[in-house]
Amino acid sequence: MRPKTFKSSLQQISLVLLTFLSAPLYFSRLLSAEKWCLSISVHCLSIYRFILSCICLYICLLLTSAIVSRRCSDLEVSFGVMDGDQWDTTVEEVDNHLPSSSSSQGAYELNDVGEDEWQMVAKKGNQFVISDQPFYVNGFNTYWLMVFAADQSTRGKVTEVFQQASSVGLTVCRTWAFNDGQWKALQKSPGVYDEDVFKALDFVVSEAKKYKIRLILSLTNNWDAYGGKAQYVKWGKATGLNLTSDDDFFSHPTLRSYYKAHVKAVLNRVNTLTNITYKDDPTIFAWELMNEPRCTSDPSGDKLQSWITDMAVYVKSMDAKHLVEIGLEGFYGPSAPDRAQFNPNSYATQVGTDFIRNHQVLGVDFASVHIYADSWISQTISDSHIQFIESWMGAHIEDAERYLGMPVVFAEFGVSSKDPGYNSSFRDTMISTVYKTLLNSTKRGGSGAGSLLWQIFPDGTDYMDDGYAIVLSKSPSTSNIISLHSTRVAIFNSMCSWKCKWGCKKKNPLEAFFHHDDL
């Protein structure tokens, strides 16, 4: 319940204080009139002082709660996201709630943290926390950072992308911690590493920390790019193993051992720039088992389920500090036939993945989902894409709450500029839809824990653009949307406290001060 007015509250408080301050003087005079009552008077005054101290503490807490409630209520009205879906707030309106030195492009300062606050991200219920304070995943993908860092002529692009991302308030980056057997390979053959490329990964981790950006490091690929499971199968065949499919990666014990050796090498790597072992570094937000795993040779999902079960436990056995996620696209499988209606097409049920079942594995900390309406439904841009995004996200947030009890991160989402009918306005609408859906979940303490754009590119990397690249300097409207979202997240986190406002039933102000729902 919100306080009626500060004036009426102060009048009531003044009356109570006046009564309790006057009463002890009156009674002490009565009692001290008789000598035998003097000792009683002293004791009574001591007790009275204790009671008065408790009352004063109560009043202070009441006032503090009222102030916090009022500040949060102001934000609630200004942003229009607490009780409705009005999202017409401008960056300038949000800026009114920032310190005078801040600006709409200064989200990085709002998100800046000191060395003593650079702690591991953990999971608490269906939300992320750092030192018991809420943490929202607001980030991007740039998969090629290690390869660019391995070449002195392109290393500067790594710094550029971190600088540009932090300037619009992004705080998490997902990138590859693998390059198997190809150009600039990290792992040249099973268990054999190029130290220069490993040093390049060291640079990526070190540089991310400078800009207060945390990393989700993916450990291999379902696809051929950068090697992935196909390269592991090639290595196996070269030793004489009888392998008939790239999906043998998931089941053959030798290939599993190759993958585990890579996990061990990365997790135990001591960064040559920071002297911190990767498995002890808070800069790393989470380990991802594989980018978009699929096992089409086994639509039942049993083969992939076995691999996930084995690898999640293995990673946790080596590193219990960091979070672990699978890297799934989010397709529903045989274990939840009633949820298949949310899949983008019938083929999605046949790729060997199973969103709910896969994420119930011991050792998996949060769910991952990707969003590509233009790849899964139709390349031609239409309103049906936005409708699919809302339905797809809503279903996974609901399932993460109901069946999994964990956060869900939409770890890739984007739209290709090469699609028929594409325009930047549609991309902005798509991004705004994702952000709105997530904040509406977060405000009620739901499982929607964040998102990662696919993908941010710095200037001068257009030759690598597959259609999904966002170059912030060339996309002012998109950049403003990202900045506004980052500012909203920062304000809610620092001024309103999600734990107080979004997780609190608020039966009355004082109760709200003491009691909060668990995150």
What's the average model confidence in pLDDT over 95-124?
Answer: 58
What does residue 152 show for φ and ψ, rounded to 5 degrees? -60, -30
pLDDT digits 0-9 by tens, 214-255? 999 999 999 999 999 999 999 999 999 999 999 999 999 999
- 92 flagged as catalytic: no
Return d(Cα 99, Cα 124) in angstroms, integer: 30
pLDDT digits 0-9 by tens, 472-504? 999 999 999 999 999 998 876 665 444 444 444
Identity of residue 129? V
Work out the burial of residue 498: count CB atoms within 10 Å of its CB; fewer than 13 is exposed, 13-18 middle, 19 or more buried: buried
Return the C-alpha torsion angle 395, 396, 400, 401, nearest 10: -30
Return d(Cα 369, Cα 376) in angstroms, integer: 14
Return d(Cα 170, Cα 172) in angstroms, integer: 6
pLDDT digits 0-9 by tens, 281-319? 999 999 999 999 999 999 999 999 999 999 999 999 999
- 412 flagged as catalytic: yes
Identity of residue 172? V
What pLDDT is stored for residue 114 in this prediction?
57
What pLDDT is stored for residue 443 in this prediction?
83
Selected catalytic residue, list 207, 288, 292, 329 = 292
Mean pLDDT, all residues of the chain? 83
Q: Looking at the predicted structure, is the pLDDT value of residue 356 above 90?
A: yes
Top-confidence residue, 144 or 91: 144
What's the average model confidence in pLDDT over 179-193?
Answer: 97
Return d(Cα 184, Cα 179) in angstroms, integer: 7
C-alpha torsion sign, points 328, 332, 333, 334: positive
**Chain centre distance of CA 372:** 19
Structure token digits, residue 281:
């570094």
What's the average model confidence in pLDDT over 117-125?
Answer: 92
What pLDDT is stored for residue 269 in this prediction?
99
**Beta partners for residue 124, in sequence order:** 127
What pLDDT is stored for residue 490 in this prediction?
85
User: Residues 489, 138: contact at Cβ < 8 Å?
Assistant: yes
Q: Looking at the predicted structure, is the pLDDT value of residue 259 above 50?
A: yes
pLDDT digits 0-9 by tens, 161-177? 999 999 999 999 999 99
Return d(Cα 377, Cα 133) in angstroms, integer: 39
pLDDT digits 0-9 by tens, 45-99? 556 566 766 676 666 555 544 444 444 444 443 333 433 343 444 334 444 554 4
**Chain centre distance of CA 32:** 66
pTM of the entire predicted model: 0.79
